[in-house]
Amino acid sequence: VLTAGSQTLTATFTPTDMADYSPATASVTLTVNEAAPTIAWATPAAITYGTALSAIQLDASSTVAGTLSYSPAAGTLLTAGSQTLTAFFTPTDTVDYSPATASVTLTVTKATPTIAWATPAALTYGTALSATQLNASSTITGTFAYSPAAGTVLGAGSQTLTATFTPTDTVDYTTATANVNLTVNMAAPAITWATPAAITYGTALSAIQLNA
């Protein structure tokens, strides 16, 4: 097995008839090209947006001694979608092997925003929903929509409130929802009843006194 480069091959001929023929030689030049190292690199499993590239994805290998570098590099945060990763292999033996590259496709899925929403304090029937109850938040920039909406008066009992979050960055994040339970207590009706005027014994009670 010859090293890469321009190599000389020599043939030495020994004739059977040594009386009439002398031995002879001939040479030719053979070009041995550098070999292209094979890079083994399985398609990595999908990751979620916000996960930095690591050795889990950047795990190419070769049976030839050398070093690997990657683009994008470890630690990079890729946007959601189909992304191309490239490995660059530099062989230790640069005489017999040429540099090589390989690529794989990595799927980066959208992240689901986290919604923080504490269970609101109970309210009394007749109190309209407001920002006191509809106060969900997220560390991601976006907008909230609520169901039921602010201003709604809910019936007494256990009620479910839903927040739908739409991120500003719809490329990397999905829409998210969250629910909380709100207890609506029964209202205590107010009774108005003025102290009735005195009556004389013998006078039956009537709507004059019983006028709450």
Model confidence at 120, pLDDT cuts 50, 70, 90, reads very high
> What is the model's pTM?
0.77
Residue 161 CB neighbours (<10 A)? 21
Which residue is it, tokens 């690591």? 54
**Mean pLDDT, residues 147-166 taken together:** 98
Q: Pairing state of beta strands 176-185 and 123-124?
A: parallel
Tokens coding 167: 């991120």
Model confidence at 28, pLDDT cuts 50, 70, 90, reads very high
Identify the DSSP state of 50. T
Tokens coding 12: 């030495």
Which run of H or of E encompasses 146?
Answer: strand 142-147
Q: What is the pLDDT of residues 37-50, one digit of tens each?
A: 999 999 999 999 99
Model confidence at 103, pLDDT cuts 50, 70, 90, reads very high
Distance CA 120, CA 139 (A): 20
Model confidence at 180, pLDDT cuts 50, 70, 90, reads very high
Q: What is the pLDDT of residues 52-81, one digit of tens each?
A: 999 999 999 999 999 999 999 999 999 999
Average pLDDT value for the chain: 97
Identify the DSSP state of 136. -
Model confidence at 145, pLDDT cuts 50, 70, 90, reads very high
Percentage helix, strand, coil, to 5, in the chain?
Answer: 0, 40, 60
- In this prediction, residue 56 carries a pLDDT of 97
**46 exposure class (CB count in 10 Å sphere: 0-12, 13-18, 19+):** exposed
Distance CA 165, CA 184 (A): 24
Q: Which residues of 86-113 are buried (b: 16+ CB within 10 A; e: fewer)?
A: ebebebeeeebbeebebebebebebbbb
DSSP string, 116-133: B-PPPPPEETTPBP-TTT
Distance CA 143, CA 171 (A): 15
Tokens coding 21: 């023929």
Distance CA 110, CA 170 (A): 9
